[in-house]
Amino acid sequence: MKFDIATVEEGLRTTYARRLFKPFAKAIVEYKLVEPGDKIAVCISGGKDSMLMAKLFQELKRHNKFPFELVYLVMDPGYAPENRALLARNAEMLGVPITVFETDIFENVFAIEKSPCYICARMRRGHLYHRAQELGCNKIALGHHYDDVIETILMGMLYAGQIQTMLPKVNSANFEGMQLIRPMYFVRERDILTWCRENDLHFLRCACKFTETSVPSGGSKRQRVKELIRMLKQEDPQIEQNIFKSMENVSLSMVMGYKDREGVRHRFDDEE
């Protein structure tokens, strides 16, 4: 099939409007993720989620009900040349004018044995905040979707002994005036995969040197949680929605303990 950018863009307004653009726009409206005067760094890793996010932001910009600016920001943390080339080729093919900067994060993280993925994510986010701020942006947008949210909830409970999730927007604690937003919050991964397949689009998967050599034979923790959710859904089709909504229905009077915004711990029996 010959690639046609006009067909891809028209599809986001027609065929995929209900499954992709509308949930994207819903999150932006419901959580006030884009506001007049914003300059947003749309952070592109080269994967399917962030590249689709870039196209959806372009579609949002077409309507432009109020003034805001976009920068399509790519951080190269040390990609292999073929991965860097694939990212650049996809961006050019899809008409996304990327701004690229380089770091050596992969090299720094490769020798770390304990929690390398967590440390890598923190370092990447710090670099993105810093570069976006240099470019005059007040927000960075990441491509986490609905499935990432519910998987993160279960991963925290099962592997970290905590209850928390990815929020749709977060004020940066280290970069004054900066905010992180997640406009793909209501977009389902299955719909992203369908969009890729039906348009014959092929994006980077995880291009990290560490995961290439160290993913356990049973798969990553996230992959195991995906499988768990899939099995539970066979018994109860509402399981994904229930997991998602559980973060909006927390009763503090019925939990053993919690931490407030300042990090102060509270127990259920503090007032006894």
Give 214's pLDDT tier (boundaries 50, 70, 90).
very low
The answer, yes or no, to whether residue 192 has pLDDT greater than 50, is: yes
The answer, yes or no, to whether residue 93 has pLDDT greater than 60, is: yes
**pTM of the predicted model as reported, rounded to 2 decimal places:** 0.90
- How far is the first Cα of the chain from the last one, in angstroms, to the nearest whole number? 69
Mean pLDDT is lowest, of 15-29, 68-82, 205-219, for: 205-219
The confidence score (pLDDT) of residue 42 equals: 98
Give 213's pLDDT tier (boundaries 50, 70, 90).
very low
Instruction: For helices 239-246 and 221-235, give the axis angle rounded to 10 degrees.
Output: 120
Decide: residue 249, CB within 10 A, 0-12 exposed, 13-18 middle, 19+ buried: exposed
CATH code assigned to 5-215: 3.40.50.620
The answer, yes or no, to whether residue 157 has pLDDT greater than 70, is: yes
The residues, any chain, with a CB within 8 Å of residue 102's CB and separated by 6 or more, are 75, 76
Give 121's pLDDT tier (boundaries 50, 70, 90).
confident
The confidence score (pLDDT) of residue 207 equals: 54
Comparing 247 with 116, the larger pLDDT belongs to 247
Rounded-to-integer distance, Cα 137 and Cα 83, Å: 27
Sequence ranges of the domains in the chain: 5-215
The confidence score (pLDDT) of residue 77 equals: 84
Give 212's pLDDT tier (boundaries 50, 70, 90).
very low
* pLDDT digits 0-9 by tens, 33-72: 999 999 999 999 999 999 999 999 999 999 888 999 999 9
The residues, any chain, with a CB within 8 Å of residue 76's CB and separated by 6 or more, are 84, 100, 101, 102, 103
Rounded-to-integer distance, Cα 30 and Cα 67, Å: 19
* pLDDT digits 0-9 by tens, 254-266: 899 998 888 899 9
Mean pLDDT is lowest, of 59-73, 118-132, 202-216, 243-257, for: 202-216
Mean pLDDT is lowest, of 76-85, 113-122, 158-167, 207-216, for: 207-216
The confidence score (pLDDT) of residue 111 equals: 61
Do residues 144 and 153 lie in contact, with contact meaning Cβ atoms separated by under 8 Å?
A: no
Q: Of all residues in the chain, what percent carry a pLDDT higher than 70?
A: 87
The confidence score (pLDDT) of residue 262 equals: 85
Give 126's pLDDT tier (boundaries 50, 70, 90).
confident
Mean of the per-residue pLDDT values of the chain: 89
The confidence score (pLDDT) of residue 65 equals: 84
The confidence score (pLDDT) of residue 200 equals: 92
